[in-house]
Amino acid sequence: MILIWAIAALMGCWSFSLFMRWLSETLANKRTHLQARRSARAQWLGFVLVFVCLGVALFAGWMGLYIEKQYSWGKSGWITPAGVIGGSVSLFALLLIIWATIGDRPRGRIRCPKCWYDMSAAVGLRCPECGHEVKDQAGFSKSRRPRWAYFVAALLLVAGTFGMSVSRDVAEYGPLGVVPTWVLMAGWEVLPDDWIGADWDTSIDGCLRERLSDDRISRSRMRRFGNRLCAPLIDDLDARTDPKRIILLRVLNYDITSVLDTSTDTYAWADPPVDIEALLRLTMVDAIDALTAENPTPAQSATIDAYADVSFIAADWLFRRESESGQLGEDAVFFSPEFYALTTEIIGVMPPELHTEQFGRNLIHRSYARQNLAWSVSTLTGVYDTHFDSYFNTESNPEQTKLWNRVRNLMRIYPDLPYEEQVPILKRLIDYAKSESASQRAFALYAAEWLGSLNIFYTRSGTQSYRGTYAYSENQETSSAFEQLKLVILDEAVGDHRVANPDKVRNQRTIHHLALSALNAISPGDTRIYTLFRNSLLAGNDTPTTNVDSLDDELIQDAIENWIEQFGDLRDHESASVRKWFEDNLPSSVDDDDLLP
């Protein structure tokens, strides 16, 4: 590949050189008093060679890129098209300088040193063509050195050096690596969105957002850039809703507020160039106006799209500042009642629209931006507990999000609630699990699976993050309510083969399927739960996966033993669907010897 790219670069340079010489000779031949150096045939041959060399260069370059794409396994150093071509162009530039320095020697010819007119038949020391006069006869015997060659060589050296300097970036980021990072940082406002990375789905490799996430840019440089981004946030609504600015601030969130303490070699808190309290209040007021508007204006729609990130940035800065100053205590965490009390105090009295049903509908809106922003506002203003009915709304509505997302948003709040607020939620889930409504029962099962996953995480971590998190596993009343929920699932939901999510076109699941998934999350690896899985599988019912490989070391060994005991004899089952389920769920650490009776 290196040879092919070098051939492509040198042939391209040769094509350019031939074109310049062909153009020079063509112009010279139009001057009747200049000596003809080439025949007409040679002139046409040179013109053809220009395109032949250009074609070879393009073909070799295409072949090099194709081979590199098809067979290269990794990205290494300067061995990229940009690096090899840059090095070849630089080498050609050096050769061009040598050629220009040697020049066209006189070899006995007598020529004017200015216009290179043939002076062999001329009399005197003045050129009859251009009027230039030399001091003596030796002045007609100078070598001809094309000055344009030095200019072209300088341009080629700059281009070649640039190619080699960006080679590493091209290897890592792709074609956009040709654009230096400082150019992206200087022109982020006018450059295309995909170059900046404003949209996670459409951004390309090597965008500015991706580069800021690497360790190749110094923290001081990122802090200076972040300070520029922060400057207009208070005074300019357009700046607060600019998606490119906001996504870059998310990436630079920590760097903006951190400076290196050389005495301890650690990063300490540094105030950002913006009033955090004022920014938090502004974002809350703007967000509430946008979320409660009957017909949002374009500016309010932009607010909805961007403000979930802006409010998070302001809240995160506030939390870190108060934590490092000791105001929230040593074990303070972001999602805690203590921090929410602080944000509520800073934000002040909020409008009554926060408590309306219209605001609550945003929490389950089909737009993720609306959901996220409404969730941030409800938690930071302390009104989340007034909108539980919105989360528990199981009606199917095209304007609202799916059941699973409603459960997810509720579970983002649940771990932070005090014990006395968790119990009513668990009791409501018990009522939903007993309900004859398929959507309500599915909601309860989704929530039980989520809570079971939280409990697994709590058990595996062996640590307690703060009061209230995973409280059902450490408080008697919540633990009792959760155990009751598990029993209701066993009695009511297992064996219910109604479709749980009829609004889905694909991957429709039954209540029975969700019940087994929830029980498996609550009691992972339990032989009694695996017995239910086995009975469901052999009865031909929709049976979920056991996910044994995802368990922690503390749980996985017992789970594998129970799994082999319950399912080990199904490897050669007569049913193809049973055999496929067995293959899909077989723990990766189990081999054939483990399955022998």
- As beta bridge partners, residue 144 has 104
Q: Please tell me the predicted confidence (pLDDT) of residue 48.
A: 79
pLDDT at residue 331, as a whole number: 65
Read off the amino acid at residue 565: E
Give the confidence band of 203 by pLDDT, cuts at 50, 70, 90: confident
Exposed, middle or buried: residue 169 (CB in 10 Å: 0-12, 13-18, 19+)? buried
- Mean pLDDT on 299-306: 83
Which bin fits 329, alpha (ψ -120 to 50), beta or left (φ > 0)?
left
How far is residue 407's CA from residue 145's CA, in Å, rounded to a whole number?
A: 80
Specify the pLDDT at position 127. Answer: 84
Token pair belonging to 576: 């193809």
User: Residue 493 has what DSSP assignment?
Assistant: I
500, 442 contact by CB (below 8 A): yes
Mean pLDDT to the nearest integer, 414-424: 82
Say what the pLDDT of residue 536 is. 92
pTM: 0.66
- The share of the chain scoring above pLDDT 90, in percent, equals 12
pLDDT of 61 > 70? The answer is no
Cβ(373)–Cβ(307) under 8 Å?
A: yes
For residues 81-102, give the mean pLDDT: 76
Residues of the chain with pLDDT > 70: what percent? 80
For residue 76, pLDDT over 70 is answered with: no
Interval 486-502 mean pLDDT: 88
Q: How far apart are CA 277 and CA 380, in angstroms?
A: 12
Tell me: pLDDT of 432 over 90. yes
DSSP single-letter state for residue 351: P
- How would residue 472 be classed by pLDDT, with cut points 50, 70 and 90? very low
Residue 468 — pLDDT band, cuts 50, 70, 90?
very low
Contact 175, 207 (CB under 8 A): no
The predicted pLDDT at position 295 comes to: 85
- The dihedral built from the CA positions of residue 334, 337, 338 and 341, taken in this order, carries a sign that is positive
Alpha-carbon distance 315 to 277, whole Å? 9
d(CA 421, CA 414): 9
Comparison of pLDDT for 106 and 154, the residue scoring more? 154
Alpha-carbon torsion, ordered 305, 306, 310, 312, to 10 deg: 40
Q: Where are the beta strands (DSSP E) in 212-301?
A: 258-261, 266-269
| Other beta carbons within 10 Å of 203 | 20
Can you tell me the mean pLDDT for 201-221?
Answer: 81
The mean pLDDT value of the chain amounts to: 79
441 has a pLDDT exceeding 90: yes
Model confidence at 463: pLDDT above 50: no
Check residue 330 and give its pLDDT. 62
Tens digits of residue pLDDT in 445-455: 999 998 887 75
Give the least confident one: 104-108, 167-171, 174-178, 380-384: 104-108
Largest Cα–Cα separation, the chain: 121
Say yes or no to pLDDT of 595 above 60.
no
pLDDT of residue 471: 36
> Could you tell me how far CA 33 lies from the centroid of its own chain?
67
Q: What is each CA distance from 378 to 287, 387, 420, in whole angstroms?
A: 11, 8, 19
Q: Which residues contact 586 (CB under 8 A, 6 or more apart)?
A: none
CA angle 166–65–55, rounded 5-degree value: 105
Considering just the CA atoms, what is the radius of gyration of the chain in Å? Answer: 37
Separation between Cα atoms, residue 550 and residue 555, nearest integer Å: 10
pLDDT tens digit string along 333-375? 676 777 878 888 888 877 788 888 888 888 888 888 888 888 8
The yes-or-no verdict on residue 439 having pLDDT over 80 is yes
What integer pLDDT is reported at residue 73 of this predicted model? 47
Is residue 507's pLDDT more than 50?
yes
